[in-house]
């Protein structure tokens, strides 16, 4: 399968009845890129993937591989590989025949197909299990078969639909590294769907953050992590403290905090506008002399304590600190201006 | 309760012996009273003919070509009918797996014949396919035939009757087997480059085949015991003289209960042979889970 230079999604839209599952997705994927589609469940990320794979027809828009229009082709003629959330291994075929299936469908000569199948099985370390049926494998092994089956045909694009969501935490970390390693070694262009921000940040070259079927932000992990485009992305990227307030002069007044804070504004904010100030729990600093809060809940997280604290006015804040805290403690906290992002509400 | 009896109970429960076993009693009584006892009684009757030794009734059945040939006649009707029902049900059920508008209505239309009963079906067939029925009138008036085509009171009348009553049954079974196959398997096959025919023959059909074998056995048994339609729309003294007709004649025309029981036992034995062959072939197929993985 020949590769491509760019794959372009042009206003890709999918409606289910009256509901818009995905609205106007524009995206350009370059060869060799690892793109993560990120968002909470129901945001349209799986819809986007299925549209790309050809398993769902588009309601509107088009998909182009270099100069060729793709969205009118059936899935079997797009030449993409796909890893399904439940793996979708053929239960009646051995691991070897599962992996060889795509090659057989593409009419690859027998000797070459056998060699490539064995290579792919070796790539995912399943040599000893090649003769087994999928039902005899563990979840992680099944996952690896699914990956081998998708990459053996050397697809121009690999689509992965939450491939790690059925694995336990330890295996998930291992497979994450494995997938990233495969991507680096084979240079496979990959579109990866996940709801796990950590997974997306650690694996992808670029993130596409979706919410309610609309793109919220497209950027590198660093851009999305440090400069979320709006409050929804911030919320999703771990800014657990979202404080409603108002813009006054050159400061922001947080309603319930009764204090003025300075922060970094994202987007256009005029004086008097309602705003949302966002800060990550780990960026909230404990400082004697800051405004006073009472510790309500303290969770032990190893090196850190994650605490839920309440201000004298009843506003709840989340913070993380290495300092030992106990419920009922009164401490002073500070919200550093460069870490406090202020969004239009 | 003492700990010793508790421990004993626990050990029994681990082997599946617990008070819930009592729930099996009604079913067991039912099977014994209505199947096993009559079956053994039938064997006993068949071995006590009025004249000759214990096997005289069987000898009479197999030496008389008029009786013996009913086995072939019955197989010649029931095997093709069962095969047709299963094969016709597959594409229709395959098309009807997903959700679509009007699915319920279509299912009702396909399944209603099961509720009609053989006599009503036979009457309908006589009116519709008979020499002066609509079917022949259309053929004659459009000039497609110059003489009425005979489709009743022969092999085809019985065949159609078995299809009408047997198809809904096969369809419902195949549909439920098909819905048990994970739809993501076909989608995975599609992304791997398989067209619809390859998806069907390489993925769906192998997973469906064991279910088809079971469906075939059940529709075959239904068709093999054909009696009313063999008489009503068939030719019960000639081409559709099936084994149940032979048993009926022995019992209620000749009052030879031993011969009738022998015919019934032969009937059961033939069914068993066919079913064991089909199930034997089925055991060669993949019969495990039809899901694509964890999920």
Give mean pLDDT, residues B104-123.
86
Last residue of one domain, picked from the residues A231, A249, A273: A231
Q: Are residues A57 and A192 in the same domain?
A: yes
Establish if A248 belongs to a structural domain: yes
Question: Under 8 Å CB-to-CB from A150, ≥6 apart: which residues?
Answer: A81, A82, A83, A102, A158, A160, B191, B192
8 A C-beta contact, residue A25 and residue A192:
no
Establish if A1 belongs to a structural domain: no
Determine the Cα–Cα distance for residues A59 and A11; give it in Å rounded to an integer: 10
Last residue of one domain, picked from the residues A231, A257, A273: A231
Two tokens at A43? 């945001």
Give mean pLDDT, residues A142-159.
92
Min Cα–Cα distance to chain A from B184, Å = 6
* Residue predicted with more confidence, B212 or B11: B212
Q: Hey, CA dihedral for B21, B24, B25, B28, is it positive or negative?
A: negative
- Say if the Cβ atoms of B185 and A88 lie within 8 Å: yes
DSSP β-ladder status, A285-301 and A304-311: antiparallel
DSSP calls for A241-270: EEEEEEEETTEEEETTTTEEE--EE-S---
Please give the residue of chain A at the shortest CA–CA distance from B187: A55
pLDDT(A163) > 70: yes
Q: Which residues of A touch B189 (CB under 8 A)?
A: 90, 101, 105
What pLDDT was estimated at residue A1?
Answer: 45
How many Cα neighbours within 13 Å face the side chain of A271? 3
- Say if the Cβ atoms of A54 and B192 lie within 8 Å: no
Closest CA to B230 of B61, B117, B113, B74: B74
Beta-bridge partners for A73: none
With residue B152 as reference, give the H or E element that holds it: none
Q: What is the CATH number of the domain that holds A267?
A: 2.40.50.140
- Say if the Cβ atoms of A55 and B187 lie within 8 Å: yes
Q: Which residues of A touch B192 (CB under 8 A)?
A: 76, 81, 101-102, 105, 149-150, 153
8 A C-beta contact, residue B157 and residue B234:
yes
Question: Under 8 Å CB-to-CB from A72, ≥6 apart: which residues?
Answer: none
Min Cα–Cα distance to chain A from B96, Å = 18
Q: Are residues A212 and A332 in the same domain?
A: no
Could you count the other beta carbons within 10 Å of the beta carbon of residue A236?
22
Two tokens at B156? 């085809």
Determine the Cα–Cα distance for residues B150 and B136; give it in Å rounded to an integer: 9
Establish if A110 belongs to a structural domain: yes
Residue with tokens 């290579």: A119
How many residues appear in chain A?
345
Q: Are residues A249 and A337 in the same domain?
A: yes
Give mean pLDDT, residues B121-135.
88
Determine the Cα–Cα distance for residues B190 and B185; give it in Å rounded to an integer: 9
pLDDT(B295) > 50: no
What letter would DSSP give residue B14? H
What pLDDT was estimated at residue A209?
Answer: 95
Q: Are residues A260 and A209 in the same domain?
A: no
pLDDT(B218) > 60: yes
Determine the Cα–Cα distance for residues A25 and A4; give it in Å rounded to an integer: 20
Two tokens at A80? 């993409």
Q: Are residues A34 and A161 in the same domain?
A: yes
pLDDT(A13) > 90: yes
Q: Chain A residues contacting B, CB < 8 Å?
A: 53-55, 74-82, 84-92, 101-102, 105-106, 133-135, 139, 142, 146, 149-150, 153, 159, 166
If pLDDT is split at 50, 70 and 90, which confidence band does B20 have? confident
If pLDDT is split at 50, 70 and 90, which confidence band does B131 have? confident
Q: Are residues A47 and A162 in the same domain?
A: yes
Question: ipTM of this predicted complex?
Answer: 0.83
Question: Under 8 Å CB-to-CB from A274, ≥6 apart: which residues?
Answer: A244, A245, A246, A247, A344, A345
What pLDDT was estimated at residue A258?
Answer: 61
Determine the Cα–Cα distance for residues A300 and B258; give it in Å rounded to an integer: 85
- pLDDT above 90 as % of chain B: 59
What is the count of structural domains for chain A? 2
Q: What is the tens place of the pLDDT at every residue in B259-275?
A: 999 999 999 999 999 99
What letter would DSSP give residue A6? E
Two tokens at B145? 């035939």
Min Cα–Cα distance to chain B from A285, Å = 43
What pLDDT was estimated at residue B262?
Answer: 94
Q: Are residues A200 and A326 in the same domain?
A: no
- Say if the Cβ atoms of A80 and B191 lie within 8 Å: yes
Two tokens at A118? 């064995």
Determine the Cα–Cα distance for residues A211 and A42; give it in Å rounded to an integer: 8
Determine the Cα–Cα distance for residues A36 and A205; give it in Å rounded to an integer: 8
Question: Under 8 Å CB-to-CB from B251, ≥6 apart: which residues?
Answer: B257, B260
* Residue predicted with more confidence, A262 or B157: B157
Closest CA to B86 of B172, B22, B146: B172
What is the signed CA dihedral for A29, A30, A31, A37, rounded to 10 degrees?
A: -30
Q: CB contacts < 8 Å between A and B, how many?
A: 102
8 A C-beta contact, residue A232 and residue A266:
no
Among A79-83, A259-263, B32-36, the minimum mean pLDDT is found in A259-263
Closest CA to A39 of A147, A192, A159, A143: A192
pLDDT(A26) > 50: yes
Two tokens at B118? 């053989």
pLDDT(A185) > 90: no
Q: Are residues A249 and A162 in the same domain?
A: no
Closest CA to A86 of B185, B287, B192: B185
Last residue of one domain, picked from the residues A212, A231, A250: A231
Average per-residue pLDDT for chain A: 89
Q: Are residues A34 and A66 in the same domain?
A: yes
Determine the Cα–Cα distance for residues A51 and B121; give it in Å rounded to an integer: 48
- Say if the Cβ atoms of A91 and B292 lie within 8 Å: yes
Expressed as residue numbers, the domain containing A54 is 6-231
Q: Are residues A167 and A290 in the same domain?
A: no
Q: Which residues of A touch B198 (CB under 8 A)?
A: 105
Q: Are residues A51 and A166 in the same domain?
A: yes
**Which domains are assigned to chain B?**
68-282 (1.10.3720.10)
Q: Environment class of residue A60 by beta-carbon count within 10 Å: exposed (0-12), middle (13-18) or buried (19+)? A: middle
Q: Which of B192, B197, B204 is most worth mutating to test chain A (most A CB atoms within 10 A of its CB)?
A: B192
Q: What is the CATH number of the domain that holds A103?
A: 3.40.50.300
- pLDDT above 70 as % of chain A: 97
pLDDT(A43) > 50: yes
Q: What is the tens place of the pLDDT at every residue in B225-249?
A: 888 888 889 888 888 899 999 999 9
Q: What is the tens place of the pLDDT at every residue in A206-230?
A: 999 999 999 999 999 999 999 999 9
Please state the φ and ψ torsions of residue A245, each to the nearest 5 degrees.
-160, -160
Establish if A213 belongs to a structural domain: yes
Average per-residue pLDDT for chain B: 90
pLDDT(B294) > 60: no
Determine the Cα–Cα distance for residues A76 and A55; give it in Å rounded to an integer: 10
If pLDDT is split at 50, 70 and 90, which confidence band does B293 have? low
With residue B224 as reference, give the H or E element that holds it: helix B205-224
Q: Are residues A136 and A61 in the same domain?
A: yes
């Amino acid at each position: 399968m020949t590769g491509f230079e760019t794959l372009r999604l042009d206003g890709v839209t999918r409606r289910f009845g009256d509901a818009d599952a995905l609205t106007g997705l524009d995206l350009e994927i370059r060869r060799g890129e690892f793109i993560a589609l990120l968002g909470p469940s129901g945001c349209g990320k799986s819809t986007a993937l299925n549209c790309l794979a050809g398993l769902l027809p588009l309601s509107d828009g088009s998909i182009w591989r270099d100069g060729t229009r793709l969205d009118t082709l059936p899935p079997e003629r797009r030449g993409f590989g796909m890893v399904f959330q439940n793996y979708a291994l053929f239960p009646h075929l051995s691991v070897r025949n599962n992996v060889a299936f795509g090659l057989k469908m593409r009419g690859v000569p027998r000797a070459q197909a056998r060699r490539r199948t064995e290579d792919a099985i070796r790539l995912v370390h399943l040599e000893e299990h090649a003769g087994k049926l999928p039902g005899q494998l563990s979840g992680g092994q099944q996952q690896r078969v699914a990956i081998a089956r998708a990459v053996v045909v050397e697809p121009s694009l690999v689509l992965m639909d939450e491939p790690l969501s059925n694995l336990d935490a330890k295996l998930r970390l291992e497979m994450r590294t494995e997938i990233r390693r495969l991507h680096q070694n084979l240079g496979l262009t990959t579109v990866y769907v996940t709801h796990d921000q950590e997974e997306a940040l650690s694996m992808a070259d670029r993130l596409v953050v979706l919410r309610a079927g609309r793109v919220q932000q497209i950027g590198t992990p660093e851009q999305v992590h440090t400069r979320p485009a709006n409050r929804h992305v911030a919320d999703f990227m771990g800014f657990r403290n979202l404080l409603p307030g108002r813009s006054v002069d050159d400061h922001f007044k947080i309603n319930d905090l009764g204090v003025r804070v300075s922060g970094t504004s994202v987007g256009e904010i005029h004086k008097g506008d309602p705003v949302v100030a966002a800060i990550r729990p780990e960026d909230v600093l404990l400082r004697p002399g800051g405004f006073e809060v009472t510790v309500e809940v303290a969770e032990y997280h190893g090196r850190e304590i994650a605490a839920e604290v309440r201000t004298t006015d009843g506003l709840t804040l989340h913070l993380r600190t290495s300092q030992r805290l106990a419920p009922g403690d009164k401490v002073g906290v500070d919200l550093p201006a460069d870490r406090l992002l202020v969004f239009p509400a | 309760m003492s700990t010793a009896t508790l421990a004993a109970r626990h050990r029994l429960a681990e082997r599946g012996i617990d008070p819930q076993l009592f729930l099996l009693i009604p079913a067991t009584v039912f099977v014994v009273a209505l199947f096993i006892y009559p079956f053994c009684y039938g064997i006993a009757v068949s071995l006590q003919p009025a004249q000759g030794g214990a096997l005289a009734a069987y000898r009479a059945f197999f030496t008389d070509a008029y009786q013996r040939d009913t086995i072939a006649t019955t197989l010649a009707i029931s095997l093709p009918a069962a095969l047709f029902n299963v094969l016709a049900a597959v594409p229709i059920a395959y098309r009807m797996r997903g959700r679509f508008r009007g699915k319920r209505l279509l299912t009702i239309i396909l399944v209603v014949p099961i509720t009609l009963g053989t006599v009503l079906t036979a009457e309908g067939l006589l009116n519709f396919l008979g020499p002066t029925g609509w079917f022949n009138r259309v053929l004659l008036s459009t000039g497609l035939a110059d003489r009425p085509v005979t489709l009743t009171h022969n092999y085809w009348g019985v065949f159609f009757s078995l299809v009408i009553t047997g198809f809904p049954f096969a369809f419902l079974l195949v549909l439920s087997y098909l819905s048990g196959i994970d739809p993501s398997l076909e989608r995975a096959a599609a992304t791997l480059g398989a067209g619809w025919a390859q998806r069907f023959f390489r993925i769906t059909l192998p997973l469906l085949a064991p279910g088809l074998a079971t469906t075939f056995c059940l529709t075959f048994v239904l068709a093999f015991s054909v009696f009313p339609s063999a008489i009503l729309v068939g030719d019960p003294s000639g081409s559709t003289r099936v084994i149940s007709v032979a048993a009926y004649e022995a019992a209620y025309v000749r009052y030879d209960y031993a011969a009738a029981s022998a015919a019934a036992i032969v009937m059961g034995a033939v069914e068993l042979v066919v079913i064991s062959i089909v199930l034997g072939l089925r055991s060669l197929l993949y019969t495990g889970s039809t899901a694509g993985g964890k999920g």
